[in-house]
Structure 1
Amino acid sequence: MDDSVSHNSAQLNEMMPADYDADTPVVSIVILNLDKPEMTIDCLEAIWKRTNGIPYEVIVVDNGSTAGNKAILESYEGPQRVLSLAINRFFGEGNNIGAEAAKGEYVLFLNNDVIVQKGWLPPLVEVLKTQPDAGCSGPKFIYPDGDLQEAGGLLDEDGSAVQIGKFQSPDQPRFNRMRTVDYVSAACVLMRRKDFIDVLGFDFRYEPAYYEDCDLCLKIGALGKKTYYVPASEVEHYESTTTSDKAHELRLNTIVGLNRQKFVTRWQDFLKTGRHDTLATPSSLVPETSRNKKTAGIYTPYNIIPGGGERYLLSVMRVFETLGYSLTLVVPEVYSRIRISAVLEKLELTLDAIEIITHQEAEQSRRFDLFFSLGNEICPPCKTLGDISLYCCQFPLPSAQQELDRRLPWLTDYDAVICYSEFVAEEIGKKIVEFDLQDQHLQVVSPPVGMKIDVPKSSPKSGILAIGRFFSGGHCKRQDMMVSAMKGLKDRGVQSRLNLVGSLHPEPEHREYFTKCQTDAKDLPVTFHVDAASDTLGDLLYKSSLYWHGAGLGVNVDKDPGNCEHFGISVVEAMAARVIPFVVNNGGPSLIVEDGISGFHYSSEEELVALTEKVLALPDDEIETLRDNAAKRAAQFSDEAFRTNLIALHDMIAQQKTEQLAQSL
C-alpha cells in the first residue's frame, strides 16, 4: 500500500481535490458514520488524496452519533456534505437516505473503515460504462496486514456467503482477473443510481445489518444485470469496526443466522440454479411532490415496518389523497422514500406522491389544512399543526403525570379522537371521564382489510395459520404459546401444521424472542415465514383451514388492557379468506369473532388445544357454515367501509369549521 494518509484540516485547502464537483458529480460516494469520527476523517482524506479522473461528491450520513462524536465530524473542514440523523437508522436505511440525496449518475457505498488506494475509482466506473450487462462493480479488498480479504463473493445453496481468496496473497494471478461474481461487499460497491432506485435500495427486512449487500446485488441481477469483481481497483478494509462495537448494544450474535434464513427464503431458486428464471419489473418509487393545493400532514412517532399500524396509517393517507390533499409524512427523524415505497409495495397499497420531513421541520415552517397524528396515550404526542385535526389513539396507555400535565391540553385543539375498535373506545371513554374531556368527539374508524382473496367453497384447506410481527413485551402475538400448543396437539395424536408469518423487529430482545420460538419448535410441525412475500402470504391464507391469534392471552383486562389486541387486522384477513379464527376472549378480536358462530374464543393454551382438536373433527357441513359466517363477518371491515367512515368524519368536521367561521363574521 502506498501514500500514507494523515488528517490535518489546516492542509485541506492546499490539497482540495481537483475532481470534486458538488454540483454535477458523475459519482456520489455515500459513507455512514456512527460514533467513529476519526475513522471517517481518515476515510475522507484518503478519498481527497487518491481519487481523480472522475467528478465526484461525498455524502456522509451521520447515523445517530453521540453529540460529542457528531461535533468532531462536523468540525472537520472538507467539501463533503454531512446529513445528520438524530437516531440510528441502521445500515440499509442510512445508505438509502444518503442515496436519495445523491446527485450523481452513479452511487458508490463506502464503509468508513475503508482506506481507498490510488486510482481506485475509474476502473469501477469503466466497467459499468463498457460492459453492457454490468449492474454492480466492486474492488479488491485488502486487509491492513496485506492479506486478501475479498476478490468478490459467492453464495452457497444454504445462503452462506463466501469471500473469494480470503487470507490469501492478493498478487496471485487468479485474483487479478476481472469476472462476474454473485455479490460484492457493500463496504465498497458502485452501481447506477437508477438501478438502485428501481430495486428500492437496501431492504429493511435485514435490519440492523448483514445480507443487505448480497440481497441488493441479486435484486439488481433480477433486472438482468451482473455484478463484476474489478481487481484494478483496490481498497484497504478494516472490517466490521462499527457493528462489532459493543457500545452500540446491537447484540448481533444472532443476526447473521436470522438474516441468512430471510435471504434463503427470498432467493432459494437462484441459490439452487445460479440464475434468475424471470426478470424483475422495476419497482415504483413514490414521487415526492404533488400538485394538490390542500395539504395534509400525517405524524407517526413509531418505526415504520409492515404491520397493522402502518397499514392503517398509509390507508388514512390514501383516503386523504383522494380528497385532494397533498401528503406530508411527519416523523421524528427522516425515512427514505425508498423505504416508504417498499412498505407500500409490501402492503399492496399505493400513493401518488409523498413528502417526508421531520417533526422539528414541520413545527418550524408548516401549517397544514389537515393534520393527523398517531399515538398510544390519551394525550397526543404533539401539538396539532393543522386547521382540521384528527388524533388516532391506538390505545390510551398509562402516561407519566408530568407528561399528562404537559400534553393533555393539546388534545382540546384536536377536532376528534379516532380509535380502531369498540374495545379501545371503551378504554378511551374511561379516560375522557377521568380527565373531564366530555366535549371531545370520539369516533371508531376500524382498520380496512382488503378482500382480495377469492376462496371458492370447494377449495381444500388444511393446517393452522398465524400472522403477526415477532416481538416480545407489550401485546406480543404469543407465537411462543402457539409453538407450545402445537406440542399439545402432537401429544394428543392430532396431525396438523402451524405456519407462523410475520416481520421481525430489528432490536436484539425481539431477535432473541424469535430465536427461542424457533428453538422450542424443533421437531414440531411448525414453519416460520419471516417477511414473507405477498404471494406467499396469499397462498397460505388461501390454503389454511384454521387461524390462531394469541395476543392478550393471560392478560388481566381490568389491570392491563393495553396488552390486549386492540383490533386484529390479521384476524379479519383470515376470516375474509374463509379461515376459521380462534382468538383470546378479550380485546378487539373478541368483538369481531362471534364465539361459536364465525369462530371461537379461548382463555388458555389448554382450551385452544382442545377447541382445535374438536373443530378438526367436525363434519364438513358444519365446517362450511363456520367458514361462510367468518367471511360474512369480515365483509363488514372492507376498504370501502373504512373510506366511507373516515370521509364522513372529515366532512362533518369541515362543515362545522365552515359554520363556525360564518358565525364569527
Structure 2
Amino acid sequence: MLSIASCLVQEYEVFIFWDKSKEDKIKQTALKKLGIDLSSVKFYSNIFDKKTSLLSRFVQSRKFDAIVYLSDGSIPIVGSKLFIHFQFPIEWINGNSMKTRIKLFFVKKIFCNSYFTKSFIDKKLDVKSDVLYPPVNLHVVKNMEKENIILHVGRFDVDFHESNYKKQDVMIDIFKKMIDAGLKNWKFKLVIGVRDGDEEKLNKLRTISEGYPIELIVNIPNQKLWEYYSKAKIYWHATGYGENLQKYPEKAEHFGISTVERRSSIFSGDRFCKELKKIINE
C-alpha cells in the first residue's frame, strides 16, 4: 500500500488513512527499511478506525475522488470510488450474503497481489479481479563471495494461538536436527521484520536457537538485506508447511516477495505504477 501511495503521488494528491501522530516515524521507517519515499504523501485521520461511525466515515470519504482500501475481508461503504485490494484469501467470509452483495455493488474495482489470491477471491465473491504484483527491486551486491549460509527472510507474525505464520520455529528445529546429525560448517541466518511490541515474543526463537550456529537479524535496512541475499548459498522458506492449504489457503504464501527477491525476478517500480494507473483510470 505504501508503494501504491508513492506511485500515485507522482500525479495526484495522496492521503494515507493512519494515525497522524505517527506520520514522521512511518515515513522515516518506509524510507530506511523499504526505500519508499513518502515525503509528498499526506496523512489523514483513519476514517476506517472502529471508533469512527458509519455516517462520519461516509461523509468524510466524500472529500476524496477515490479510495484504495486494503481489505482484511471487510468491504466498507464510502462516498467515493472504491478500489479494494486483497493480499490473501478470505475463506471465512460469506460471499453470497445479501450484505456482501450490496457492498460489492459499490466497488469500482478489485485487484489482488497474485493469481493465487485471485483464484480464491474470484470464487468466493463471484467477481473478476485484476492482478497487480508488488514491485520488487533487488540491488544485488556483485562480486561478493558466497558463504555456507542458509538464509530466511520474513516478518515475525504469530496468531492468538502463538502459531508462527512464517514457520521460523519449524525451520530452526529442523536445522538443529541437521546439525545434531553431523552437518558442519553451515550457518542458518534469519532476517526478520519485527513490529513494535513483538520483541518479547521473538525471545522464544532466540531461546530455541541457543548453542547452534543460528543467528536472528532483526529490522535491518534494505542495503544490508541485499548483502545477505548475495552471500547466502541457500534460501529457505517454509510458509504453509504442514497446513491444510485447501481448507485454510490464507496460511499459504500469497505472493512471497522475499522468494522473488532471492531469485532476482524483478517487477520494477515503473511497471508497477503503469499497471496501477491503468486499474485506477479504467
So what's the TM-score if we normalise by structure 2? 0.85
Matching of residues 37-56 of structure 1 within 5 Å? none
Is contact 2:57–2:78 with CA below 8 Å preserved after alignment?
no
Aligned-residue offset at 1:498: 1.1
Partner of 2:237: 549
Q: Deviations over 1:593-630 (max 9, x none)?
A: xxxxxxxxxxxxxxxxxxxxxxxxxxxxxxxxxxxxxx
1:416/1:441 contact within 8 Å kept? no
Q: Which residue number corresponds to residue 123 of structure 2?
A: 430
Is the Cα–Cα contact under 8 Å of residues 475 and 551 in structure 1 kept in the other structure?
A: no
User: Which residue in 2 is equivalent to 1:499?
Assistant: 189
Q: What displacement does 1:412 show?
A: 1.9
**Deviation for aligned residue 1:493:** 2.3
* Offset of residue 545 of structure 1: 1.5
Deviations 1:391-427, CA, capped at 9 Å, x for gaps: 0012232446699654542222112111111111111
Residue 349 of structure 1 is aligned with which of 32, 36, 48?
Answer: 36
Work out whether 1:463 is the aligned partner of 2:157: no
Q: Which has the larger radius of gyration?
A: 1
Deviation, 1:471, is: 2.1
Gaps of 5+ in 1: 1-312, 434-439, 577-633, 654-665
Alignment equivalent of 1:524, drawn from 195, 212, 220? 212
TM-aligned CA deviation for residue 449 of structure 1: 0.6
Match of 2:68 among 357, 372, 393: 372
Distance 1:403 1:441, change over 3 A: closer
Q: What pairs up with 1:194-593 in 2 under 5 angstroms? A: 313-322=1-10, 324-331=11-18, 333-345=19-31, 346-351=33-38, 352-359=40-47, 360=52, 363-367=58-62, 368-377=64-73, 379-380=74-75, 382-387=76-81, 389-399=82-92, 405-433=98-126, 440-456=127-143, 459-473=145-159, 476-495=165-184, 496-507=186-197, 510-511=198-199, 513-576=201-264
2: CA distance, partners of 1:522 / 1:399: 39
RMSD: 2.5
1:647 and 2:277 equivalent?
yes
- Displacement of 1:444 in angstroms is 0.8
Aligned sequence identity (%): 25
Q: Deviations over 1:106-135 (max 9, x none)?
A: xxxxxxxxxxxxxxxxxxxxxxxxxxxxxx
Map residues 90-105 of structure 1 onto 2, 5 A cutoff: none
Residue by residue over 1:1-54, the C-alpha shift from the partner in whole angstroms, topping out at 9 and shown as x without a partner, is: xxxxxxxxxxxxxxxxxxxxxxxxxxxxxxxxxxxxxxxxxxxxxxxxxxxxxx
* Residues 147-190 of structure 1: CA deviation (Å, up to 9, x unaligned): xxxxxxxxxxxxxxxxxxxxxxxxxxxxxxxxxxxxxxxxxxxx
Q: Would the aligned equivalents of 1:468 and 1:477 in 2 still touch at CA under 8 Å? A: yes
Tell me the SS of whatever aligns to 2:142.
coil
Q: Deviations over 1:63-112 (max 9, x none)?
A: xxxxxxxxxxxxxxxxxxxxxxxxxxxxxxxxxxxxxxxxxxxxxxxxxx
Query: In structure 1, how many angstroms separate the alpha carbons of the residues matched to 2:98 and 2:217?
Result: 44
Q: What count of residue pairs does the alignment treat as equivalent? A: 268
CA 1:362–1:320: 2 relative to 1, 3 Å:
farther
SS at match of 1:485: helix
Report the Cα distance in structure 2 between the residues aligned to 1:430 and 1:543, rounded to whole angstroms: 42
Alpha-carbon distance, 1:527 to partner:
0.6
Report the CA distance between 1:363 and its aligned residue. Answer: 3.4
Q: CA deviation at 1:638?
A: 2.5
> Alpha-carbon deviation of 1:454?
4.4
Distance (whole Å) between structure 2 residues aligned to residue 358 and residue 516 of structure 1 = 34
Matches of 1:329 and 1:455 in 2, distance apart? Answer: 37
- Secondary structure of the structure 2 residue equivalent to 1:644: helix
Q: Specify every segment of 5 or more residues in structure 2 that has no aligned partner in the other structure, as ranges.
A: none
**CA deviation string 1:376-395 (max 9, x = no partner):** 22x42x223423x3100122
Code of the residue aligned with 1:639 in structure 2: it is G
1:325 offset after TM fit, Å?
Answer: 1.0
Secondary structure at the aligned position of 2:88 is classed as: strand
1:497 aligned partner, one-letter code? K
